[in-house]
Structure 1
Amino acid sequence: MSEKSSKPRYVIVAGEASGDILGANLIESLRKRCPDALFEGIGGPLMEAQGFQSLVPMDRLSVMGLVEVLGRLPELLKIRKHVYTNCLDNPPLAFIGIDSPDFTLPLERKLKDKGILAVHYVSPSVWAWRQKRIFKIKKSVDLMLALFPFEMPIYQQHGIPVVCVGHTLADDIPLMCDRAVARAQLNMGESNAPVFAILPGSRRGEVERLAPLFIASMSEILRQQSDVRFIIPAVNDDRREQITELLNAANVDAIVVNGQSRDVMIAADAILLASGTAALEGMLVKRPMVVAYRFTKLTYAIMSRMIKVPYVSLPNLLANKALVPELIQDKATPKNLASTLLRTWKAFEADQEIQQTYLDLHLMLRKQAGDTAAEAIVNLVEKTHMRKGN
């Protein structure tokens, strides 16, 4: 990180690819309001392209699951202490934690206790599980930036300042996406055969756990519909090599590309994906999809007793109904995934209700997220400075 400077400074921590997207968009919007501001902390390539300086590679924070975190705990605590010390040595206008609540919220609480403004961008799933966290959140943040309208009430009920900013993906993705253009950009050639996008996640552990299941599902799909073509986006070279090895071992053909996950989804006739932000993106590009996920047995045993909502995917949570099929844990078998995806694909074109719901949700989330978030942060900083008489 940089040495002390008289320039205004924000410290931002993003822990995974979805946070990198939000962080880059936020930095761009903050810089419009404060052109000479410095941005430091932990972020990914999109944030770095905006001039952000990252202390460690962002993927050092990318770990999911209650059990999986334990093996990385000493390293994560060391990184968190480093960021905390840096903020104390050179206090920023505000600290902004983007998602990754188990890492960022304790850091925000310590910084808030030291008089540094703490903003959290992306509401933890406090409305879904571990609901008593709301009391810790209240002690940890000066402002919550929520992505979705259904998240607002719990913060308002507990007197926590909150602003709904929508999602930058809804701003960036057109209301109608051209499948033919996407296929041309991916050099897929001309063919009338259906194309299914397969997205087994971005983390090594996710791919290790889900890709064999998804590849077995691909074999089952081909047994029922032999002309289907598959395309898989890999987040980086390592994941591409990992996926390619699994495909070769299973003797299944697929196009594997680096990145371009949005183009891959737009090019597809249907999508099989891991639960997460990808499900939101699949909804925004208006494609039929099936959401599937498997946790480790211990993680699932713990989480399944704590979750208080009937759905895990964002499209279903936003619609408050079973908009897209969810096959989680034991329900996620190759036969179930294949038959559900084929059935969902074949029914989609004639289903005007789901297509209209996709569009309505897209419009609801279009709030110019980066600008809305930046305005809320700047307003918080200015009010705080005025109150302190600076």
Structure 2
Amino acid sequence: MALTRVFLVAGELSGDLLGAGLMRALRARHPDVEFRGIGGPRMQAEGMQSRFPLETLSVMGLVEVLKHLPELVGVRRTLYREALAWQPDVMIGIDAPDFNTGLELKLRRAGIKTVHYVSPSVWAWRQGRVKKIARAVDAMLTFLPFEADFYQRHRVPVTFVGHPLADEMPLATDRATARQALDLAPEGPLLAVLPGSRANEIRFMGATFLDAIETLCRRHPSLGVVIPAATASRQRELSTLLESYPALSERVTLIEGRAREAMVASDAVLLTSGTAALEAMLCHRAMLVAYKMAPATHWLAKRLVKTRWISLPNLIAQEALVQELIQEEATAEAIVDALDDLLADETARQALEMRFAQMHAALQRGASHRAALAVEAVAAGLALPGEGDA
């Protein structure tokens, strides 16, 4: 079946990147396909006729969502009407689950096939959402294998397509070249420290990380430290914090961005959780995850979150490959002890690097191409592609 019309709705810049890759993969197989919906500059460059600006759906936080709720309801109503009038072969919601699931549900009830690309963290919290997802989509496309297992258990049609980051990052890493590129010492142990991309993460973990680094540098005279700040704002905040640690002035290299190079250059990584842990795994580097949040948030998370681990490497492996120090456990002393062990045990680090390389290869599947195959199958009313299909 040739695809002629595809309706896509992306909700933020990461979705715009995913959508553009999927659109390229679909057009390679269906040169005459048209795209409408909501997309950002990358999707528009691939031929998307975007009905609203991408930022329309990029609303974070309960208060902000409530404030914009009438506008969001109006946008969803307009998209529903326009999709019905256009009659696409398939509608694809990219992330933005709270917005897209409602739209997918209405369109599917009206007879339009629907696909959701990027699973929400329904496996971790608010698991009851899977019932609505089951009614809303003809297929869920997941980045990670344990997500697909969750949907299979709940009888939701699903395809594990692999992770675009795994496709993007090379399977071979070169520590020496990365150190040279960052103008770091070619020899000696190096610790990469990623204290988070949000101001709150710097507020909760910044001083704790620097306290730990100060102790580690006293214990390991040859240890170098590189801190890639996520943004210019985070770099200013970290630079201000470092002023209180004069002993670190010759030991710490603070840079803006280039986190992947810093991790590849390192022997071990200290980080808060999130995508950084996945990136460290894809850089094949041993790591320690340490994370603190507001006490009330932690109290609520303990009651709502249903997973044994918070870091993606552990969730993917379904075992504790990476040590996690959470909340009260995330002290400078505990971080120092854990990193002491990690830096001292080269054999353990090398074993982790090999395991992470294997996990990387398992996720490197050509996500955009596999997503396109699944979209074709849904539009044609066929079975979703299996593990061996390419």
TM-score calculated relative to the size of structure 1? 0.81
Partner of 1:158: 154
Q: Any conservation in 2 of the 1:11–1:87 contact (CA below 8 Å)?
A: no
Partner of 1:4: none
Partner of 1:221: 216
Q: Any conservation in 2 of the 1:155–1:162 contact (CA below 8 Å)?
A: yes
Partner-residue secondary structure (3-state), 1:305: helix
Q: Is 2:278 the partner of 1:280?
A: yes
Structure 1, unmatched stretches of 5+, are 1-6, 64-68, 385-390
Deviations 1:53-81 (A, max 9, x none): 671449944x5xxxxx2332235535633
Counterpart of 1:359, as a letter, is A
Question: How do 1:1-390 and structure 2 match up within 5 A?
Answer: 8-15=5-12, 17=14, 19=15, 22-35=18-31, 37-38=34-35, 41=38, 43=40, 55-57=53-55, 60-61=58-59, 63=60, 69-75=61-67, 77=69, 80-81=72-73, 83-91=75-83, 93=88, 94-186=90-182, 188-251=183-246, 252-253=248-249, 254-350=252-348, 353-383=351-381
TM-superposed CA distance for 1:164, in Å, is 0.7
Counterpart of 2:26, as a letter, is L
Residues in 2 aligned to 1:211 and 1:58: alpha-carbon distance in whole angstroms = 33
Deviations 1:74-133 (A, max 9, x none): 355356335414423532744434445345434443444455543222223333333222
Q: Any conservation in 2 of the 1:84–1:111 contact (CA below 8 Å)?
A: no
TM-score calculated relative to the size of structure 2? 0.81
Residues in 2 aligned to 1:235 and 1:383: alpha-carbon distance in whole angstroms = 43
Residues in 1 aligned to 2:256 and 2:210: alpha-carbon distance in whole angstroms = 18
Distance change >3 Å, CA 279–CA 189, structure 1 → 2: closer
TM-superposed CA distance for 1:350, in Å, is 4.6
Q: How many residue pairs get matched?
A: 369
Residues in 2 aligned to 1:246 and 1:76: alpha-carbon distance in whole angstroms = 36
Distance change >3 Å, CA 174–CA 113, structure 1 → 2: same
Distance change >3 Å, CA 37–CA 159, structure 1 → 2: same
Structure 2, unmatched stretches of 5+, are 383-390
TM-superposed CA distance for 1:373, in Å, is 0.9
Q: Any conservation in 1 of the 2:190–2:266 contact (CA below 8 Å)?
A: yes
Distance change >3 Å, CA 113–CA 270, structure 1 → 2: same
Counterpart of 1:198, as a letter, is V
Q: Any conservation in 2 of the 1:97–1:105 contact (CA below 8 Å)?
A: yes
321-330 or 214-223: bigger deviation = 214-223
Distance change >3 Å, CA 320–CA 154, structure 1 → 2: closer
TM-superposed CA distance for 1:189, in Å, is 4.0
RMSD of the alignment, in Å? 3.2
Q: Any conservation in 2 of the 1:143–1:162 contact (CA below 8 Å)?
A: yes
Deviations 1:146-178 (A, max 9, x none): 122222233223331110111122223222200
Q: Any conservation in 2 of the 1:16–1:59 contact (CA below 8 Å)?
A: no
Residues in 2 aligned to 1:82 and 1:338: alpha-carbon distance in whole angstroms = 52
